[in-house]
Amino acid sequence: MFKQKSLITSYCLAAVVVLALLGPLAQNGRGDFVLLGDEQLTVYSYHHQGTLFDTSQAFIVSGGSVDWLFAYNFSTVNMSDGGTEKIYAYNSSTVNMSDGGTEAIYAYNSSTVNMSYGCVDEYLWAHDSSNVNISGGNVDYLGADDSSTVNISGGHMFGLGALNSSVVTFHGRNFRGSGGLILYGDSVLSTGTLSGEWFDGTQWWVTIGHLDPTATIRAIPEPATLLLLGLGAVMLRKRR
């Protein structure tokens, strides 16, 4: 467990150091930007703040840095490198993170966060029926609130909280509970430590520190495991 936490911390600290260096080195770059309509911008230098409206898109690449980034009205943030301090997504906007680093991502009003790599150093929160899909990367704390939906099939997380009718689903295998956590079928019924393996065999663990009575956390085996369980049930019936 401590090894996973140290790996997350090391990766995130490296991303934050890069972000801290990018700002001072590029202070002579553009300060702020605002995108409207179908406008698109590739961010390859330092910006203090960026705001996107109405299906616009920002692409954060190597060398790109934005302190505060706001996305509204079906706009999209694509981060393939670089870094930000905080990203706020509102009104069905989307954040696609395939690399890079940020301190926090907050999704509101049915927005979506897709994360396949990279690092969230502090918080990734889903509010107001938003959706989060994580297949890789590192997140220090993941939170789901207000009927939001989270699907996790890869990556590393240290802490997790599920509140207010939210649904969090882990897709993997060999699930185990410890520290008071109880697994009943594919349902997590209490707080504690949930561990298992992703489909590629990578081992992981996460501390579930908060689980509201109205929220749901599920640990669903991969299809191959389900098939084996089904075949086992059939064999038992035949023997009986």
Q: At residue 184, does pLDDT exceed 90?
A: yes
**Sequence-separated (6 or more) residues with CB below 8 Å from residue 24:** none
| The pLDDT of residue 224 | 45
Query: In which domain, by residue range, is 46 found?
Result: 2-239
Residue 28, Cβ density class (10 Å: 0-12 exposed, 13-18 middle, ≥19 buried): exposed
What is the pTM for the complete model shown?
0.85
Distance CA 65, CA 24 (A): 10
Distance CA 11, CA 3 (A): 12
Three-state SS string over the chain comes to: CHHHHHHHHHHHHHHHHHHHHHHHHCCCCCCEEEECCCCEEEECCEEEEEEECCCCEEEECCCCEEEEEEECCCCEEEECCCEEEEEEECCCCEEEECCCEEEEEEECCCCEEEECCCEEEEEEEECCCCEEEEEEEEEEEEEECCCCEEEEEEEEEEEEEECCCCEEEEEEEEEEEECCCCEECCEECCCEEEEEECCCCCEEEEEEEEECCCCEEEEEECHHHHHHHHHHHHHHHHHC
Sign of CA dihedral 232, 234, 235, 240: positive
Task: Write down the mean pLDDT value for the chain.
Answer: 87
| The pLDDT of residue 31 | 81
State mean pLDDT over 110-134.
Answer: 98
| The pLDDT of residue 27 | 41
What is the chain's length?
A: 240
Structural domain count of the chain: 1
| The pLDDT of residue 219 | 98
> For 99-115, what is each residue's pLDDT tens digit?
999 999 999 999 999 99
> For 156-172, what is each residue's pLDDT tens digit?
999 999 999 999 999 99
State mean pLDDT over 207-219.
Answer: 98
Q: At residue 61, does pLDDT exceed 90?
A: yes
> For 31-59, what is each residue's pLDDT tens digit?
899 999 999 999 999 999 999 999 999 99
